[in-house]
Amino acid sequence: MNLADLALAPGRTSQAAARPAFFTAEGPVTNDAFQRSVAAAVAGLRALELQPGDKVLLRLTNSIEFAAAFLAVVWVGAVPVLQNSQLGADELAHITAAAAPALILLARAPEPGDPLQGLALQARRAVVTRAGLVDESGNPIAADAAQPLPAAHDVSPDTPAFMVFSSGTTGRPKGIVHAHRWLEGLGNSNRNRIPPQADDVALATGEWSFVSALGHNVLFALRNGVPGSILEDRASPERILATIARDRVTLLYSVATLYRRILGHEGIEHGHDLSSLRGVNSTGEPLEPAVQQAWKQRFGCPVWEHYGISEAQMVLGHGPLTPARPGTVGIDWGAGAAVLDENLQPVPAGTLGTLAFSAAYPGFFLGYLGDEVQTRRCFRGGWYVTSDLAVRDADGYVAIVGRADDCFKSKGVLIAPREIEDALLGLDGVVQASVFPIPDAETGYRIGAALVLRSALQGDLAAQFRKLLAGRIAPFKQPHVVVAWDSLPTNNNGKTQRSEVARRVIAGLAAAEA
């Protein structure tokens, strides 16, 4: 099955055609109705004479229109280019320059102030509706959009299928090109980790421009015949729980930060019927055991962690078939995980090294758009080599210690921020934590920590937390500088921006000393 086949897979029988493909705020959308929306979008793309291999930028938020447009573009052999709908002019200019789209698909005609208005682009633009594509004045582009799907453009497993852009936490966003084989590789891995059940409904809280949310909420759901619940607007604790109750969601996919935010609202679980949940999935960064325990106690279902990367999707994880092991992100689900030394040789169990995966895994991307040098840096010696430090135990469970570029030395000792963050988050009253280096002429770096607290504390926070952390971590790992904020800065994917946290704290210290 290639990605285009997903437009047909859920509705091949009359019984399946009447089942929901998606749940929305307006009610369910059946497989048959969704397939008609895909066919109408295909008619519009053919009327625009879109060619196989053309890039199509999707500037849409999570919606039936997004899902239909994505599959329609794939159906005609073009390549959807996904980018977060909140990106500003500079970020959008970088992406459009890199991808050179022939067409931009929009949710509505751009209004004054829209970043698109300031870009000098040759690309045509069209607005996506459930009835088909229209121009920016609302006129239908296809004379007859109500027609069945023609034959899909023929592709091989290695043909480029879609493109996502990294979140840009380590520099400019990179274009990541995925092939049609991605659906089989990652689709099988995800289905094996959490086998679908007859009453399943899947909800991912991220925008579908991110490969994790796109897979779990749309593509794998369609492949498995599982309805996807669509979260309208941006994710918030109240909106997430209300959507779960509305659509009887069984499987939730979100980032660790949002689970901490939800748990930060005392008693929020009592305001909604959440009895449908059979498990929630956490990614983005390791979730400390104390939060997992609190979630199980308050919401009555387990948290299954998983580790994913934009260059693939989920590659490690816990699930209902694998008992969770605290401090780890689970086991390998077919990606050939290994922990390597500096010579790209696997290290013994229990030894720290660099996390890597088999380059032969079909779920991995084809390469970075326009950057063969960076592609070769990642694919080395038959491995896809990450930037994450990890330890793998004798049973195959992997613990992520942190990114190699996040670690730093203080007084000659290597500091892994994740370890200190876990200790802080294990304290009562700490909702979020970010640990980072502060340059220091004497020690190399001091250890800084920015916290979100359940209730305010007064006085010298560093001294108070040294006492609270006594016995939990070594004295040389305790933060030298501690600040408390109402919230921590995050990127568009909900991950805490450690570099931005450090920049703000360091700037504040410099201003105080001036």
Go through the domains of the chain in sequence order and give each one's CATH number: 32-179 (3.40.50.980), 408-513 (3.30.300.30)
Q: Which residues pair with 434 in a beta bridge?
A: 450
Q: Which residues of 195-221 are buried (b: 16+ CB within 10 A; e: fewer)?
A: ebeeebbbbbbbbbbbbbbbbbbbbbb
Show the CA angle centred on residue 435, arms to residues 239 and 390, nearest 5°: 90
Task: Work out the number of other CB atoms within 10 angstroms of the CB of residue 449.
Answer: 26
Q: DSSP string covering 411-445, please? A: TTEEE-HHHHHHHHHTSTTEEEEEEEEEEETTTEE
Whole-prediction pTM: 0.83
Q: Distance (Å, rounded) from C-alpha 257 to C-alpha 359?
A: 30
* H/E stretch holding 378: helix 372-378
Task: Work out the number of other CB atoms within 10 angstroms of the CB of residue 305.
Answer: 26
The helices-and-strands tally (H runs, E runs) of the chain is 14, 27
Tens place of pLDDT per residue across the chain (514 aa): 678 888 775 555 667 888 999 999 999 999 999 999 999 999 999 999 999 999 999 999 999 999 999 999 999 999 999 988 877 777 888 899 999 999 999 999 888 878 887 676 778 999 999 999 999 999 999 888 888 888 889 999 999 999 998 765 445 778 999 999 999 999 999 999 999 999 999 999 999 999 999 999 999 999 999 999 999 888 899 999 999 999 999 999 998 888 988 998 999 999 999 999 999 999 987 787 888 999 999 999 999 999 999 999 999 999 999 988 888 999 999 999 999 999 999 999 999 899 999 999 999 999 999 999 999 999 999 999 998 889 999 999 999 887 777 888 787 777 888 889 888 988 988 999 999 999 887 777 899 999 999 988 988 999 999 999 988 888 888 999 999 999 999 876 677 888 899 999 998 888 887 7
Q: How far is CA 289 from CA 54, 136, 298, 329, in A?
A: 46, 50, 14, 11
Tell me the residue length of the chain. Answer: 514
What lies within 8 Å, CB to CB, of 485 at 6+ separation is: 450, 451, 452
